[in-house]
């Protein structure tokens, strides 16, 4: 038979092995014990154990933190939220998870997922995991579903969602909104003459010029190819919309220099001024019809269709 070790020694070795395993983890891990005041209310939490990953944001070794109160370990700003999370986990008797932003003096910045697991009535175990990269990837994927990769502008899906909300607002508060289709005239000639690389650069510059010529509140989107769309809110009347369209067309009069001999273009646009009485597909259909009417009439112009319930 093998040597039987005393219980105390065996337990000590198990705790030592567990500590080594936790210190090898990239996730932070800590155990906290409740402190009570004279009224038996929770007044704080003392640190019983923390691994290397958990102590790293503080810039101190685990040994320098163990035995200290929550505020001393993570700082006053971070401790307030953690204290509430610890109390909630103990009160409900179930794990709680929260995403927190950390900006530590040692340069640890980003989003971290704190999971608090209560055990017993006066201790909680916490894990501390960096989810910054996961969140960035999630945000990137969301951005890609809503934006055009070439111009960086919102795409059709984002546009239709935004337009629907604007029409609802206009209908509710009696304001005016506008939807505009803008199309580059004879864009195919640019690709055929200068190549698709120049064509792509022209599209990106064209989108930026529209964006810069309009109020910050305007949404500018690329629908497909050389077709763009604009959503405008809080318009006073038709003249206000016409003034904004004049700004867009003036911006297009300057040459687009992309290693080409003064490349110039014109565009055609169809705008619908509405009080929200029309649905999104109808507003877009009316604008498309008006834009093609502008092309039919010779291009390099815009036309406005007024669609008001009181009209």
Predicted confidence pLDDT, tens digits, the chain (311 residues): 455 444 344 445 544 555 665 666 678 888 899 998 888 888 899 999 888 888 887 888 888 999 999 988 888 877 888 888 899 999 899 999 887 776 655 555 667 788 899 987 889 988 887 777 777 777 777 777 888 889 999 999 999 999 999 999 999 999 999 999 999 999 999 999 888 988 998 999 999 999 999 999 999 999 999 999 999 999 999 999 999 999 999 999 888 876 666 788 899 999 999 999 999 999 999 999 999 999 999 999 999 999 987 65
pLDDT score recorded for residue 10: 47
* DSSP per-residue codes, 143-199: HHHHB-TTT-SB-HHHHHHHHHHHHHHHHHHT-EEEEEEEEETTHHHHHHHH-HHHH
pLDDT value of position 311 = 52
- Domains parsed from the chain with CATH numbers: 18-135 (3.30.450.20), 147-307 (3.30.70.270)
Known active-site residue 122: no
Question: pTM, whole model, 2 decimals?
Answer: 0.62
Burial 154-176 (b: 16+ CB within 10 A, else e): bbbebbbebbeebbeebbeeeeb
Residue 16, phi then psi, degrees to nearest 5: -65, -45
Q: Which of 226, 275, 288, 305 is catalytic?
A: 226
pLDDT given for residue 109 in this prediction: 60
Contacts of 250 (CB under 8 A, 6+ apart): 213
Q: Is residue 28 within 8 Å of residue 128, measured between CB atoms?
A: yes
**Residue bearing tokens 């064509």:** 199
pLDDT at position 113, please? 82
> Alpha-carbon distance 303 to 297, whole Å?
10
**What's the confidence (pLDDT) of residue 166?**
95
């Amino acid at each position: 038979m093998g040597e039987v070790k005393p219980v105390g020694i065996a337990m000590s070795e198990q705790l030592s092995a567990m500590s080594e395993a936790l210190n090898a983890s990239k996730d932070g891990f800590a155990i906290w014990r409740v402190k009570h005041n004279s009224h038996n209310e929770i007044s704080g939490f003392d640190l019983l154990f923390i691994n290397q990953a958990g102590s790293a944001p503080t810039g101190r070794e685990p040994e320098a933190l163990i035995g200290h109160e929550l505020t001393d370990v993570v700082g006053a700003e971070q401790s307030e939220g953690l204290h509430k999370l610890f109390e909630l986990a103990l009160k409900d008797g179930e794990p709680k998870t929260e995403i927190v932003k950390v900006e530590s003096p040692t340069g640890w910045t980003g989003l971290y997922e704190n999971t608090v697991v209560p055990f017993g009535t006066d201790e909680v175990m916490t894990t501390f995991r960096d989810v910054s990269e996961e969140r960035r990837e999630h945000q990137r994927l969301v951005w890609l579903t809503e934006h055009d990769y070439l111009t960086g502008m919102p795409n059709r899906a984002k546009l239709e969602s935004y337009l629907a909300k604007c029409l609802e607002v206009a209908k509710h508060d009696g304001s005016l909104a506008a939807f505009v289709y803008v199309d580059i005239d004879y864009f195919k000639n640019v690709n055929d003459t200068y190549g698709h690389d120049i064509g792509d650069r022209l599209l990106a510059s064209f989108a930026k010029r529209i964006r810069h010529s309009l109020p910050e509140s305007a949404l500018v989107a690329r629908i497909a190819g050389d077709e763009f769309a604009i959503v405008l809110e809080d318009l006073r009347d038709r003249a206000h919309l016409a003034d904004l369209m004049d700004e867009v067309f003036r911006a297009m009069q300057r040459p687009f220099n992309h290693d080409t001999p003064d490349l110039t273009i014109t565009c055609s646009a169809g705008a619908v001024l509405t009080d929200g009485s029309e649905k999104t597909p109808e507003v877009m259909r009316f604008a498309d019809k008006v834009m093609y009417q502008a092309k039919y009439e010779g291009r390099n112009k815009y036309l406005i269709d007024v669609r008001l319930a009181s009209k």
